[in-house]
Amino acid sequence: MLQSKHSSVKRDYLARVNDGEFPKHIAAELAKKWDFDYWDGDRRICYGGYNYRPGYWTPVAERLIQEYKLTPESSVLDVGCGKGFLLFEISQLLPGVRIAGLDISTYAVDQSHPFVKEFITIGSSEALPWANEEFDLAFSINTFHNLYTFQLFPSLKEIKRVSKSTYVCVESYRTEKEKENLLYWQVTCEAFLTPEEWVWWFNLTGYDRDYGFIYFE
């Protein structure tokens, strides 16, 4: 779903680690505050300006709609939604759909797309404030690998609990080279796991829903 978009990006991994002003450990310290520096600060820290780009998230929204047979009567939840751009794309493709988002970053929610801001809750994936199976689909893209193990366990249980269908996409590695690239590039990842280790976590927590991996090739 996201793998082709992600792997097509060109990166200078060594420059990330050895930058004179923002070496990776400094970038990581700033990024993990989930504030301005993470979203809209210097590109050497993280996104370097996380702005809405019309059409960028449309293919992902279309794939979710197609895969999970979403309709204007459906309800969807994005756990780790950031500024809510994917939720906005879904709402435009399915007018009337019920959307909800959750993110730990107060800054991201304050800066979120105006159309979806009122539907986003500031909070933790460890305790979702919604009822059992309240959503037809709950998804989390590029979020759960940022959790510590004691956070990952309840979060996988929670996202399954509140949804009838679920999709989780996380960073992973299959080779030592991909592991090296992940270690060099990431600034917020805490769960450095192979696909087999992720599946172990899924089985441990009873998460038997859909998932996908992103690799730094």
Q: pLDDT tens digits, residue range 59-91?
A: 999 999 999 999 999 999 999 999 999 999 999
Of the two residues 6 and 96, the one the predictor is more confident about is: 96
Is the pLDDT score of 6 beyond 60?
A: no
CA 79, 203, 61, 66 dihedral sign is negative
Instruction: Provide the domain count of the chain.
Output: 1
Give 18's DSSP letter: H
Query: Would you state the pLDDT for residue 19?
Result: 82
Q: How far apart are CA 101 and CA 54, in angstroms?
A: 19
Query: Side chain identity at 27, as an amino acid letter?
Result: A
Q: What percent of the chain has pLDDT over 70?
A: 95
* DSSP helix/strand/coil, 85: helix
Torsion of CA 186, 190, 195, 199, to 10 degrees: -150
pTM > 0.85: yes or no: yes
* DSSP helix/strand/coil, 135: strand
Query: Would you state the pLDDT for residue 11?
Result: 78
pLDDT bin (cut points 50, 70, 90) of residue 38 is very high
pLDDT tens-digit series, residues 17-37: 788 899 999 999 999 999 999
Beta bridge partner(s), residue 128 = none
Q: How far apart are CA 182 and CA 159, in angstroms?
A: 25
- Return the closest-CA partner of residue 207 out of 133, 154, 171: 154
CB 82 within 8 A of CB 117: no
- Residues 91-106, mean pLDDT to the nearest whole number: 98
Buried b (16+ CB within 10 A) or exposed e, 153-167: ebbbebbbbbbbbbb
CB 70 within 8 A of CB 97: yes
Domain at 123, CATH number? 3.40.50.150
- Return the closest-CA partner of residue 102 out of 172, 192, 162: 162
Query: Would you state the pLDDT for residue 7?
Result: 54
Query: Would you state the pLDDT for residue 13?
Result: 78
Query: Would you state the pLDDT for residue 5?
Result: 44
Of 5-9, 45-49, 122-126, where does mean pLDDT reach its minimum? 5-9
Q: How far apart are CA 24 and CA 173, in angstroms?
A: 19
Domain that holds residue 188: 3-215
Torsion of CA 191, 205, 87, 64, to 10 degrees: 100
Query: Would you state the pLDDT for residue 40?
Result: 98
